[in-house]
Amino acid sequence: MKIGVFGAQGRLGAMILRILAGQNSVRAAGFDASPEGLDAIINAAPLRDAALHRRALNCGCHVIDVTVDRGLIRELLALDDLARQQGRCMMAMAGLSPGLTGLLARDMQARVPKAACIQVSLLQSSAGTAGEQGTREMIDLLTRSGCEFKQRPYPQRPGEPPSIRKLFDLDGPELEFLDGAVSVRLVTGFDSRHMNTIISILALLRGTAPQIYSRLRDTIARRKAQAGESGVEAIELGAVALTRDGNVLASRMLSLASDYGATAAIASASAMLAVQGRTQTGAGHLRDFIGLEPLLDHPVVRAQVL
């Protein structure tokens, strides 16, 4: 199978390309022009419209995208008729978050249909290697107006009961596109209480002293990126099914080697499964095409699960 990676010069695109190049059945290459002759493409670039995706579908390619841009996601989902006409898959939100987070939420909904709310949590390593820009964007996301930092139930590790952690609400694009009667809450935070406290203070400064906020945010992002060059980027992704009163009915925890690594692996596996004919046609979210267990059992994704 021939899979092209658009945006292969970036960190995520380069990681996807390395994963694909390590698969015996895959011929992978970066491309920046025509997708003709490819079986599938993965977009890892911050595009503003769906022109590439439409062109790829018309060339007979399956299309995988990991964007978090809501406007672009809407455009991708609107390609459903074209994807069906071409007998191809247009898979949006095919990364860690959005992507695996929504798939985990749907799996928990199916396991506990009487749940009133599914909470999906993403606990990040304060010593991770997300880079300066990624850390800056995360701080901006967590300090926005209306983002609550409060006690939330946290999924259990094997042999342990669910616990409580202070976590931030995550206004991820997935929430807009998840369907179903059960409400879904996305929360996130760092594994360091110190880092979470700093972000809480920054949230106060953002509204009262924006210039000081910007300087401190940039300094923290720069220092974290430097310290994280040799750090461990392991993250925890979990889900809890809750009653209306907030009691935990069930929980599940996944430990993953890294944020970027998980996203690259999920996108790579999705493209391979699509080319192998193991997904439906049309446009949709990762969860519309692949089940949680088949995805986690795919060799390139399994390599990311700790």
Look up the pTM and report it: 0.91
Q: Where in the chain is the domain with CATH 3.40.50.720?
A: 2-92+260-302
pLDDT band for 1, please (50, 70, 90 cuts): very high
Q: Does the pLDDT of residue 129 top 60, yes or no?
A: no
pLDDT digit string, tens, across residues 10-31 = 989 999 999 999 999 999 999 9
pLDDT band for 133, please (50, 70, 90 cuts): confident
Q: Does the pLDDT of residue 230 top 60, yes or no?
A: no
CATH 1.10.760 fits 100-256, yes or no: no
What's the rounded mean pLDDT across residues 217-233?
72
The three-state (H, E, C) secondary structure of the chain, written as one string: CEEEEECCCCHHHHHHHHHHHCCCCCEEEEECCCCCCCCEEEECCCCCCCHHHHHHHHCCCEEEECCCCHHHHHHHHCCHHHHHHHCCEEEECCECCCEHHHHHHHHHHHHCCCCCEEEEEEEECCCCCCCHHHHHHHHHHHCCCCCCEEEEEECCCCCCCCEEEEEEECCCCHHHHCCCCCEEEEEEEECCHHHHHHHHHHHHHHHHCHHHHHHHHHHHHHHHHHHHHHCCCCEEEEEEEECCCCCEEEEEEEEECCHHHHHHHHHHHHHHHHHCCCCCCEEEEHHHCCCHHHHHCCHHHHCCEC
Nearest CA-CA partner of 158 in 296, 302, 255, 259: 255
User: How many beta carbons lie within 10 A of that of residue 175, not counting itself?
Assistant: 18
User: How many beta carbons lie within 10 A of that of residue 149, not counting itself?
Assistant: 18
pLDDT band for 157, please (50, 70, 90 cuts): confident
Residue 232 has a pLDDT of 57
- Which residue has better confidence, 252 or 132? 252
pLDDT digit string, tens, across residues 49-62 = 999 999 999 999 99
Q: Does the pLDDT of residue 228 top 60, yes or no?
A: no
Lowest mean pLDDT among 60-69, 90-99, 142-151: 142-151
Q: Does the pLDDT of residue 231 top 70, yes or no?
A: no
Q: Does the pLDDT of residue 173 top 90, yes or no?
A: no
Which CATH number applies to 2-92+260-302?
3.40.50.720
Mean pLDDT of the chain: 90
Q: Where in the chain is the domain with CATH 3.30.360?
A: 100-256
pLDDT digit string, tens, across residues 183-214 = 899 999 888 888 889 989 999 999 899 999 99
